Structure 1
């Protein structure tokens, strides 16, 4: 029993990685039912996705630093309780305005969990196994992103509000379990020790730019693929949904292996492999007219995106500088900001030239990533690619 009690916090740490993407995407498949119930169109109900992700990305710029000041375990527990409360508010929302407010607060609460979970994971993991641990965390994030539409669709068959009840129950359970004890949970807690400027160092910002491109130019173009699947291949909604899940499925199946690759060849090399191969795959997805080839390319793009995302997490969490919680928070803010910005930037391009909408992000990914990703530390610096023991 004592062994089980000791293992539960570690399991909850990984489960928290599932909850964030799951909560953000669970509404996607139930937008028509939400809109009908609240008296708005499905397109208007879709603003609930933007409300969540926009606040999530914005608050993460500083949430990791504040969490480090307040203490990781205390902050994460409070954030889960807040997430459970506002999820219940979303379940009971009588109007779209109330629902949007609840979704914004959900995003804010989740911003205080994801970066601190990653920082705690890094503090618990030896440097030679950090990539594997981050790979498993990435696999669970991919699983949350992949299965959210399925669970949301099942809930909508009964009542879409039950999806938020499930979120509230999961967050409450995670709050009860808490985080494992880590050295950094105590070390970073004294007020004033963690500073935002430490998290906004040039090296961290450069890694953040890579994260923005890695997610925005690969996973963030899923809406473009949906457009193309309808315009070129004449797929119906269920067929388009099945096609889009291939990216997340690839993440589930391969993220841990990508983590092993990070441990073997280093974060920077893994990121470059993911970025360059991802750029070629995005071009394939946007130009080839054979559906089977596009489906395979989209699956492989899921592996490429994991190379970038697991790699940037390993690079920032292994950085020898101060305020790792704040640093990973900044990088995650860039990542999800890229996903939120991609539809705004690329939809007009698609309308003007569908092929260019794929070529532009592919070119940015291939050209900017090698320039932005920081070089490994000097030989006298701790660890490969900045990865050091905790």
Structure 2
């Protein structure tokens, strides 16, 4: 029985990676439909993205450390169970306020899974193969981001509420499976994890890179949905299909990117991803051809993996104390950027659509090369 259980639990480490991006992005292709159903504007409906991701990001500042103290298996299973319950609450929410509340609780629950899964993956993977393992995890996250707008767009053709039912079902399955038995032993006989061990300058700089990498690439999916509706008249299902190209690129390239990082290092991957991504974002914001926009969005997914797999490899492969807490802090920065992109850039888009793409592109190209550390942290 254990011969079957252990591989299934290891597979669940990767499968769990899709919940964060899926839960955060499932609403982006159906914001007009949500707004119409609960009686708010599309701009107000966009705060359902922020409600989820802002709490997700804020909670992850300490969730990795707390999860290590409480026990990883117990924490992850409890978080999945809560996630399933509040996803059903979101599906049944009769008002916009209740929907926002459910989204916030989803984000809090998910914050106790993502960083712990990453830390557990680093524990059971040899260091010289960590990049490719994180690449596969990134591919699963890309799968979540790919499936999310497609499921959301298709659900909106009947009722957007069905997408939350899908979320609940996925969380229930992962609750039952749990984590590998080998991860349980890693929490025994060690000093309690401390948050201050995860807040060194190296981790914070990687966090800034993660923030911009997510906010200025994958976090712009809502802007692309706005633009393709306004300038090309795409329906919700068509917008959802277009948005899946970003995640499809991640599925296809995350593991090869991880293998490349094992060879050339995380820093080179981060800089290449930032510069290439900036050029692609400008193209997406200014091109008048839907074909060109589609190709650029797909390539932006490749650039995003160079950054997202790169930051995970940099923080988990860099040593130091409290790796679970460190990756938790970096993930908090990452999803914090995505959480506040809609709030900050939707007004810019309303005033000048192209500027909403130009601003993040400039930040990506200038800040990431400066913020990326040249060396790892000092051993603790």
TM-score (norm 2): 0.90
Q: 1:305 to 1:33 in 2, by over 3 A?
A: closer
Q: Distance in 1 between matches of 2:155 and 2:124?
A: 36
Q: Does 1:88 align with 2:77?
A: no
Say which is worse superposed, 300-309 or 353-362, in terms of deviation. 353-362
Q: 1:280 to 1:40 in 2, by over 3 A?
A: closer
Kept after mapping to 1: 8 A contact 2:16/2:174: yes
Partner of 1:304: 303
Q: Distance in 1 between matches of 2:237 and 2:159?
A: 20
Q: 1:187 to 1:315 in 2, by over 3 A?
A: same
Q: Give secondary structure in 2 for the equivalent of 1:289.
A: coil
Q: Give secondary structure in 2 for the equivalent of 1:245.
A: helix
Q: 1:261 to 1:352 in 2, by over 3 A?
A: same
Q: Give secondary structure in 2 for the equivalent of 1:320.
A: coil
Partner of 1:48: 48
Q: 1:155 to 1:217 in 2, by over 3 A?
A: closer
Q: Distance in 1 between matches of 2:55 and 2:187?
A: 25
Say which is worse superposed, 250-259 or 307-316, in terms of deviation. 250-259
Query: In the TM superposition, what is the alpha-carbon distance from 1:38 to its structure 2 partner?
Result: 4.6
Kept after mapping to 2: 8 A contact 1:71/1:186: no
Say which is worse superposed, 149-158 or 312-321, in terms of deviation. 149-158
Say which is worse superposed, 22-31 or 62-71, in terms of deviation. 22-31
Size of the aligned set, in residue pairs, is: 380
RMSD, aligned CA: 2.6
Q: Give secondary structure in 2 for the equivalent of 1:171.
A: helix
Provide Cα deviations, 1:145-177, integer angstroms capped at 9, x if missing partner. 111233334445555444333322322221221
Kept after mapping to 1: 8 A contact 2:149/2:244: no
Q: 1:70 to 1:21 in 2, by over 3 A?
A: same
Give the 5 Å matches for 1:226-375: 226-233=225-232, 235-375=234-374
Q: 1:155 to 1:260 in 2, by over 3 A?
A: same
Partner of 2:147: 147
Q: 1:330 to 1:296 in 2, by over 3 A?
A: same
Provide Cα deviations, 1:123-143, integer angstroms capped at 9, x if missing partner. 111111111111111111111
Give the 5 Å matches for 1:60-71: 60-71=60-71
Q: Distance in 2 between matches of 1:31 and 1:289?
A: 24
Provide Cα deviations, 1:98-121, integer angstroms capped at 9, x if missing partner. 332222111100000000000000
Query: In the TM superposition, what is the alpha-carbon distance from 1:192 to its structure 2 partner?
Result: 6.4
Q: 1:72 to 1:150 in 2, by over 3 A?
A: same
Q: Does 1:114 align with 2:114?
A: yes
Q: Distance in 1 between matches of 2:139 and 2:118?
A: 13
Q: Give secondary structure in 1 for the equivalent of 2:181.
A: coil
Q: Distance in 1 between matches of 2:287 and 2:369?
A: 26
Query: In the TM superposition, what is the alpha-carbon distance from 1:40 to its structure 2 partner?
Result: 5.1
Partner of 2:197: 198
Unaligned runs of 5+ in 1: 383-390
Give the 5 Å matches for 1:175-194: 175-182=175-182, 185-188=184-187, 193-194=192-193
Unaligned runs of 5+ in 2: none
TM-score (norm 1): 0.88
Provide Cα deviations, 1:52-98, integer angstroms capped at 9, x if missing partner. 11211111111111111112112111111211222233333343333
Partner of 2:19: 19
Query: In the TM superposition, what is the alpha-carbon distance from 1:297 to its structure 2 partner?
Result: 1.6
Query: In the TM superposition, what is the alpha-carbon distance from 1:293 to its structure 2 partner?
Result: 2.5
Q: 1:67 to 1:146 in 2, by over 3 A?
A: same
Q: Give secondary structure in 1 for the equivalent of 2:179.
A: coil
Kept after mapping to 1: 8 A contact 2:157/2:236: no
Q: Distance in 2 between matches of 1:95 and 1:231?
A: 27
